[in-house]
Amino acid sequence: MGTRTVIPFGPQHPVLPEPVHLDLVMEDERIVDAIPSLGYVHRGLEKLAAKKDFNDMVFVSERICGICSFIHSLAYSTAIETIMKVEVPERAQYLRVMWAEMSRVHSHLLWLGLAADALGYESLFMHSWRVREKVLDVIEETSGGRVIFGTCKIGGVRRDVEPAVLEKTLKELETIEFECSEIVHVFAGDPSVHRRVAGVGVLSKDDAYALGAVGPTLRASGVNWDARKLGYAAYGKLEWEPVVETGCDILARVLVRAKEIFQSIKLIRQAIQKMPAGPVEVRVTGNPSGETITRVEQPRGELVYHIQANGTKNLARFRVRTPTFANIPPLVKMLPGCELADVPIIVLSIDPCISCTER
Amino acid sequence: MSDEQSIELVERNQLPGKTAELKAGGWRIVQISSVPVADGQEITYSFDKEYRLKSLRTTVPDADPVLPTITGAYFAAFTYENELQDLLGLKVQGLPLDFKGNFYRKAMNAPLASAKPDGKAG
């Protein structure tokens, strides 16, 4: 056994847009152990729920994350609607799918850009983010916002989308799909990308499941699990299957996210085409009383909202378990045996969202 | 596919054995969460198998805020159990990776321990 050295990785590091820390125990250039630390920007939003009206918490939950903002508000609204037994209008359910999948497309393009940047592939980074801007334009056209959509509410959605705008969205999706195919072609086929990520950051199928991995990190290890299969919003009425890869390495995570972009575009198309006419919200009165554990699929994986309400305007408990939090033990498992130079891209491969985790 | 959920009430000392059974049965850990009750905290351990959600629930009194670790069955629980220590002020016995209250950097100790349903400080 060689001399062991502990190298701190983070909380500030070029590959980390947000602070997280790892103590890397090294033998020469090889990692033998990794110990994570969190909490540099913890905001205590769960405690805020004890003071805020449960209706206002829709806005708080949407601000937990700047990337999957809409999906947080969707999860929270779905949880309260489950407790209050609210029947959400069908059109609102399809609109929720449309916006959730737009979030997934822009999140995955953002991640592909960051991954390209970490690989030193600057032009691919810029192309990924150029296409992402087009997705943000579509989000702005349909919701009025680019980061915070502000459309989800308890009982439905806050605004409808005109048929002409939906038609325009379908046309825009054709362009976005074509341009994504050009980017994904590079990720899937470029030998320099393959040499950098194939066989790196391996997480076996058994480890992924046993350690509670979620999202693309879980599916890239060969486990067929996607919270959208629970059928919330209108997912139960659409034709789709989870994207699963069996490589168990970073390349497999790249491929899962790349394929999910096209899957999301198909889901948006289906949602628009199957969307019935009708109201987009129902009036909800009274205070919730009861409990639910609601699960939805964020771009990074399964998001859990545990809500307990006691009949007052304040919730007894507002608990959010984010996908990045669940993916920390799998990340710790991926690192031992790897080279120090591989750490940044391995950390990036779980698509860490610290602002979610530090809710 | 529906979101089928069930909750089983257990005693604290049953947790290691019950979670070992779930692990052997192929259940994936989903989350550990808490709800404040009059004289303590209700801790909920959730697991998934083929889209079914099963939860174990136990109550920890404020007078004796101690829980056994379930990391023997689910190593990934160390993050949740450190969270219980940091945010609720509970003591998890047997934690293999114990941050001793420093998993989160926070302005006050055990901030969620005081979030009682009657609005009174705990």
Average pLDDT over residues A340-355: 89
On whether residue B16 sits in a domain, the answer given is: yes
Q: Give me the count of residues in chain A.
A: 359
On whether residue B48 sits in a domain, the answer given is: yes
Cβ–Cβ under 8 Å, residues A342 and A331: no
Cα end-to-end distance, chain A, whole Å: 41
Q: How many domains does chain B have?
A: 1
The upper half-sphere exposure of residue A89, i.e. CA atoms within 13 Å in the direction of its Cβ, equals 21
- What does the H/E/C string look like for B26-50? CCEEEEEEEEEECCEEEEEEEEEEC
Provide Rg for chain A, Cα atoms: 20
Q: What is the mean pLDDT of chain A?
A: 92
DSSP B109: S
Q: Judge: B51–A236 Cβ closer than 8 Å, yes or no.
A: no
Looking up residue B39, the CATH number of its domain turns out to be 3.30.460.80
CA distances from B67 to A105, A187, A207 (A): 42, 47, 26
On whether residue A6 sits in a domain, the answer given is: no
Cβ–Cβ under 8 Å, residues A116 and A324: no
On whether residue B87 sits in a domain, the answer given is: yes
CA distances from B78 to B15, B53, B55, B73, B84 (A): 14, 20, 18, 11, 10
Average pLDDT over residues A134-158: 94
Chain B residues within 8 angstroms (CB to CB) of chain A: 1-3, 5, 23, 28-31, 33-36, 44, 46, 48, 51, 53, 55, 74-76, 78-79, 86-87, 97, 99, 102-106, 111-112, 115, 117, 119
Q: Which of chain B's residues have a Cβ under 8 Å away from the Cβ of A47? A: 111-112, 115
Looking up residue A207, the CATH number of its domain turns out to be 1.10.645.10
Residue numbers of the domain that contains A94? 42-357
Q: What is the ipTM of this complex?
A: 0.89
Q: How far is A339 from chain B (nearest CA, A)?
A: 23
Residue A118's contacts (CB-CB under 8 Å, 6 or more residues apart) are A15, A344, A345, A348
Chain A CA closest to residue B47: A212
| Closest C-alpha among A307, A335, A353, A297 to residue A211 | A335
Q: Judge: A39–B104 Cβ closer than 8 Å, yes or no.
A: yes
Cβ–Cβ under 8 Å, residues A73 and A282: no
On whether residue B54 sits in a domain, the answer given is: yes
On whether residue B33 sits in a domain, the answer given is: yes
Residue numbers of the domain that contains B74? 4-114
Q: Judge: B53–A321 Cβ closer than 8 Å, yes or no.
A: no
On whether residue A4 sits in a domain, the answer given is: no
Average pLDDT over residues A44-54: 82
On whether residue A17 sits in a domain, the answer given is: no
On whether residue A37 sits in a domain, the answer given is: no
Residue A11 preceded by cis peptide, ω within 30? yes
Residue A188's contacts (CB-CB under 8 Å, 6 or more residues apart) are A254, A255, A258
A355, containing H or E segment: helix A354-357
Among B2, B104, B119, whose Cβ lies nearest the Cβ of A42?
Answer: B104
What is the CA angle A66-B76-A294, rounded to 5?
A: 50
Q: Judge: A212–B5 Cβ closer than 8 Å, yes or no.
A: no
Predicted model pTM: 0.93
On whether residue A172 sits in a domain, the answer given is: yes
- Residues 132-151 of chain A with CB under 8 A from chain B are none
On whether residue B121 sits in a domain, the answer given is: no
Q: Which of chain A's residues have a Cβ under 8 Å away from the Cβ of B111? A: 44, 47
Residue A16: both structure tokens together: 């980390």
Average pLDDT over residues B62-90: 92
Q: How many domains does chain A have?
A: 1
Q: How far is A222 from chain B (nearest CA, A)?
A: 15
Strands B4-9 and B52-61: parallel
**Tens digit of pLDDT for each residue in A157-173?**
999 999 999 999 999 99
Residue A258: both structure tokens together: 């790349």
On whether residue A32 sits in a domain, the answer given is: no
On whether residue A20 sits in a domain, the answer given is: no
Among B55, B74, B104, whose Cβ lies nearest the Cβ of A38?
Answer: B104
What is the pLDDT confidence band of residue B120, given thresholds at 50, 70 and 90?
A: very low
d(CA B113, CA B41): 8
What amino acid is encoded at B11 in this protein?
Answer: E
What is the pLDDT confidence band of residue B4, given thresholds at 50, 70 and 90?
A: confident
Residue ranges in A144-242 assigned as alpha helix (H): 163-189, 191-197, 205-210, 215-219
Q: Judge: B1–A295 Cβ closer than 8 Å, yes or no.
A: no
Q: How far is A261 from chain B (nearest CA, A)?
A: 23
Tokens 């915070």 found at:
A148
d(CA A331, CA A321): 17
Q: Which of chain B's residues have a Cβ under 8 Å away from the Cβ of A306? A: 31, 33, 35, 44, 46
**Tens digit of pLDDT for each residue in A302-339?**
999 999 998 999 998 888 999 999 999 999 999 999 99
On whether residue A56 sits in a domain, the answer given is: yes
Residues above pLDDT 90, as percent of chain A: 79
| Closest C-alpha among B32, B122, B7 to residue A319 | B32
DSSP A198: T
Average pLDDT over residues A288-313: 94
**Tens digit of pLDDT for each residue in B79-119?**
999 999 988 889 999 998 888 888 887 777 877 776 555 44
**Tens digit of pLDDT for each residue in A58-109?**
999 999 888 889 999 999 999 999 999 999 999 999 999 999 999 999 999 9
- Residues 302-321 of chain A with CB under 8 A from chain B are 302, 304, 306, 308, 310, 316-317, 319, 321
